[in-house]
Structure 1
């Protein structure tokens, strides 16, 4: 199916898709954004659509996947502490330390980060902030393998520098 035919067919199912988007997002503006993103992806991949099949169903699957991927992505970025950190036996010990010990630890962590080579530090910080390897590679304009190496080397250096806190 070409893009013109696809666009005309998609216009007919757009109101139904909007109601599904509204059901997913529970917000009118977010629903409009989700619908728009779904239709853009549909147009981009219309050559994969088989004529005679259910267009509304095909676009619904695209919408559902787009919504779930965006939820997972935003959840990853908003997570600061992982579940493993919350279950750690070290959590009880760390909660009993006084503020001055924590201040010294923060200072040591900052010193350790500053001791890293700039490329390694930036890549590690972005990874720690929740960015994916591919996003870091794009931002720093370096190959994906280099990003992974930088992060691995930064971890190794930080472990050496901060071994007293194990």
Structure 2
């Protein structure tokens, strides 16, 4: 019952708030929603209102901040949606195989190119591809660390030149 006079006081400013809200949103329905959100927040935080201060300014501040917060949320939501919409099937074609036939042909070409590598390059490269660290490969093969790095680098370059059609 204590909020009853306060509720009447804030509803007396409805038209003024609606005019400001319409100026922000340029849409009657959105302005009406904004005023309603303002009233809900004003009632929720009525204890923060200082009796005798300018209620119209207090309500306007709530309305403006609510509009700004909603605008920021919708802008972020639209950014996320826009990024997802920028991908076309043409753009995705480069990053994925279109069917199993193409995927199988690519795998065969990669395996053939890998089999063409001399063992001195293919073994360190395979170990690296399996997730071993350079130092682990060096210990396993009994060769210096620099040699492991060089052989993996050479293997990459040979595979790139053999598979340049997929570049």
* TM-score (normalizing by structure 2): 0.49
Asked which structure has the greater CA Rg, the reply is 2
* TM-score (normalizing by structure 1): 0.50
